[in-house]
Structure 1
Amino acid sequence: MEKKYNQITAMLAITKASLRATLRSPSSIAFSIGFPLVFILVFGFLGNSGGVSLNVVMDKNSDTTNVIYPALKSISNLKFKDKSDEQLKEDLEKGRITAIIKIVRSNNPAIPYTIELKSSESVSPQNLAVLKQIIQSVITGINAKMYPNMPSIANISNDIQKIPGRVYRTIDFILPGQLGFSLLSAGVFGVAFLFFNLRQHLVLKRFFATPIKRSYIVLGEALGRIIFQLITAVVIIVVGKIFFHFTLVHGIVTFINIMILSFLALIVFMGFGFIVSGIAKNESTIPPFANIFTLPQFLLAGTFFSIDNFPAWMQPFCNALPLTQFNNAMRAISFEGASLISVWKEIGILAIWGVLIYYVAIKTFKWE
């Protein structure tokens, strides 16, 4: 009796061969593990703590009738936020706000105002130092222009009130970005080169001579890439955790959430690779096409620094990028302890990108 052809077995055989080929590829190892680890090591050794923005809030009880208040509001480095009391407390605890600034009248006629700061242990000491320097430069400027004969219009209180919170380190910002870098690189470059070469070397054509269905061919090759990339994600997270104390708030639960998020993001990013492999005419055109999708995201999606540093008119575009959504969700899960349900908005935007990308990929993908 003739044995029925097993599509699953054939697909798993393709997956095994694809994974083995990927592990033997120096470029895959370099882009997926090497480059991200280099960035993690560099930024990790630069310091174990470091802020990414100077988001501040002006205390509601501050004296705003003085010249200090408008001068501070005009500083572009200080991004003043309007928060409710409950949200403000939560943002302070999680390090989203650098400090609450309060301007009060003092009892000293020679120095009529005192500036008090309230912050959190989650905030980088470097950020607080920078904030104090900015405020002091504002005070110095006002003194020179308007009050040359006074000791100072204000001083900064040395007693900074700090509420409890997690210590926010440089690695807590850098590692999610580098994981996103790795996933996007593998999804675009890895898939593009893989399927282009399979088509060029007539491997796909040979597959057609077998009973395996086309969908299982794609799925088998994709699974090999996914397994390899999830292994690299584990390596990146373990290195960050062991050597630089990367924050995993809920331990193994947070780790599992990160892996699920990485899996979903990788599926979306691979769609870009399918598009590139379909539109590329030869192997030399793959990098330029791939960079059209990857380079803007590497630079604008909060991979190396916060998108708050960009002009306000550019930030909506930055926030619309799929890598931005992954980075934001990743940081919320790892440092703030958010669940996958809590980051439904970011996952939803990723899903929308996935639908659009795979619609284009289906239209452009070529078998021969």
Structure 2
Amino acid sequence: MQQSYSQGRAMLAITRASLKAILRSPTSVVFSIFFPLIFILVFGFIGNSSGPSFKIVLDKNSDTNNVLLDSIKHYPNIKFITGKTDQEIRSDLEKGRITGILSIEKVNEPNSNVEYLAKFKSTTASADKFSAFLPLLENVISKIDKIKFSERQSVAHIVPEIETVREYKPIDFILPGQLGFSLLSAGVFGVAFLFYNMRQQLVLKRFFATPINRTSIILGEGLARVIFQLITAVVIVALGHYAFGFTLVHGLLTFVEILILSFLALLVFMGFGFIVSGLAPNESIIPLLSNIITLPQFLLAGTFFSIDAFPAWLQPLCRILPLTHFNDAMRKIAFEGAHLTDCWQQIGILGIWGVVVYAAAVKTFKWE
């Protein structure tokens, strides 16, 4: 007897075949599982951290043998900076590199309701950290009072002092990260798709029929990408400066140095694009390989938030990434008034990345 055609069985067969095709696609697996897990881990690390980190300098005249200082040192997100001269400390305060200077002085007056004065000096460059550190200090004092100083008003009285220097606006942190985001995206995705499509459409092969040599082909296409992205950088920085007050400490000179730094970084980032275009067996793999390179840098290189928000064990990895050093150099030049020569360490590491990346690009690049 002829068995009737089962629509349900056919539907299940199609479902099974489609599911196998999806599971065999690395792009589907990575974008559906791997990348969401990365986001969960990154933001989970931030959420599980003990709050913002504070870099504190202890005044050299402070009383160091007291319960208040001992309690503060137990907080993992408070780091005491040592080994700096007064001039270096002053410079770091003005540039917002440290939260402030803490001075703990013993009160010798017999009728005083407190045993110590906790003087904390900061500047407007660290206003956000200053406003977060004071409640933490008050919480420490409150806990000590409940345990050891129940009969007296308080173990210590806080004397805050904030000095007005250059205002540090949110845009001063955000814009360098967004510029780096733009340059890295364009360098990797733009170059990867460009040269892959030129190879697939036999454009590069047709170029060989002309007198132009291979080096000129790559330089010509690369130069067009560089010019376009530098125009983009000009628009981003100009909009940030005139519309949102992005700080350019030395005006036009700072602007020119930002463009030079952007040019150097873009050359490095384009090398990643050459590698992807050479490794990708088909066009659908390009986004996968490109995101493997770019996504960790977007999340871990201080693009959207400071890498101090991550656990201490993860921060060394963050500091290896090339985008981290571009972001650091950008912020030093734009806000702190540094010059390119002052950012030799960041530029040097970008240069090392450039050598490594282009050595790999030469090995993987294909003409056909």
Query: Rg larger in 1 or in 2?
Result: 2
Distance 1:355 1:102 in 2: 47
Q: Which residue matches 2:134?
A: 132
Work out the CA distance in 2 between the residues paired with 1:186 and 1:361. Answer: 17
8 Å contact from structure 2 (residues 124, 162) kept in 1? no
In the alignment, the residues of structure 2 paired with residue 257 and residue 119 of structure 1 have an alpha-carbon distance, to the nearest angstrom, of 29
Match of 2:323 in 1: 323
The answer as to whether partners of 1:53 and 1:306 remain within 8 angstroms in 2 is: no
Return the alpha-carbon distance in structure 1 between the equivalents of residues 204 and 139 of structure 2.
66
The one-letter code matched in structure 2 to 1:97 is I
Deviation sequence 1:59-110 (CA, Å, 0-9, x none): 1111121111011112123222112212101101111111101111223532
Partners in 1 of 2:141 and 2:265 — Cα distance? 47
Aligned match of 1:156: 158
Q: In structure 1, what is the Cα distance between the partners aligned to 2:265 and 2:287? A: 21
Instruction: Give the whole-Å Cα distance in 1 for the aligned partners of 2:283 and 2:182.
Output: 21
Q: Percent identity?
A: 59
SS at match of 2:150: coil
Which whole-Å CA distance do the structure 2 matches of 1:282 and 1:293 have between them?
Answer: 17
Q: SS state of the match for residue 248, structure 1?
A: coil
Match of 1:144 in 2: 146
Shift of 1:123: 2.2
Partner of 1:111: 114
Counterpart pick for 2:125 among 116, 122, 131: 122
Contact 1:187 1:273 in 2 (8 A): yes
Deviation at 1:241, TM superposition (A): 0.4
Deviations 1:277-321 (A, max 9, x none): 000011111111111211111111111111122222222221111
Q: Distance in 1 between matches of 2:77 and 2:218?
A: 49
Tell me, yes or no, if the aligned pair for 2:124 and 2:165 is still in contact at 8 Å.
yes
Aligned mates of 2:244, 2:73 — CA distance in 1: 36
Q: Quote the RMSD (CA, aligned, Å).
A: 1.4
Question: CA shift at 1:120, angstroms?
Answer: 1.7
Structure 1 residue 145, shift from structure 2 partner: 2.1
CA contact (8 A) 1:61 1:102 kept: yes
Superposition deviation, residue 147 in structure 1: 2.1
Task: Indicate the structure whose relative CO is greater, using CA pairs within 8 Å and at least 6 residues apart.
Answer: 1
Which residue does the alignment assign to 2:174? 174
Cα separation, 2, equivalents of 1:235 and 1:161: 35
Specify every segment of 5 or more residues in structure 1 that has no aligned partner in the other structure, as ranges.
1-51
State the alpha-carbon separation in 2 of the partners of residues 251 and 297 from structure 1: 29
SS in 2 for 1:305: coil
Structure 1 position 161, deviation (Å): 4.9
Partner of 2:98: 97
For the residues of structure 1 that align with 2:265 and 2:257, how far apart are their CA atoms? 12
174-183 vs 141-150, which deviates more? 141-150
TM superposition score normalised by structure 2: 0.82
1:276-315 map, 5 Å: 276-315=276-315
TM (norm. structure 1) is: 0.82
Instruction: Say which is worse superposed, 285-294 or 252-261, in terms of deviation.
Output: 285-294
**Structure 2 counterparts to residues 251-270 of structure 1, below 5 A:** 251-270=251-270
Aligned partner letter, 1:118: K
Matched, 1:79 2:79: yes
For 1:75 and 1:243, the matched residues in 2 are separated by 40
Contact kept in structure 1, 2:72 and 2:140, CA below 8 Å: yes
* Length, aligned pairs only: 314
| CA shift for structure 1 position 53 | 5.1
Q: In structure 1, what is the equivalent of residue 57 of structure 2? A: 57
Distance in 2 separating the partners of 1:69 and 1:165 = 28
- Following superposition, which runs of at least 4 residues in structure 1 exceed 4 angstroms of deviation? none
Q: Which whole-Å CA distance do the structure 2 matches of 1:209 and 1:134 have between them? A: 71
Q: Secondary structure at the match of 1:311?
A: coil
Report the counterpart of residue 203 of structure 1 in structure 2: 203
1:26-37 alignment, distance < 5 Å: none
Contact 2:172–2:331 (CA<8 Å) still a contact in 1?
yes
Question: Structure 2, unaligned stretches of length 5 or more?
Answer: 1-51
- Deviations for 1:36-63, whole angstroms, at most 9, x for unmatched residues? xxxxxxxxxxxxxxxx853211111111
State the match for 2:10 in structure 1: none
Equivalent-residue separation in structure 1 for 2:358 and 2:276 (angstroms): 12
Farther off after superposition, 87-96 or 304-313 = 304-313
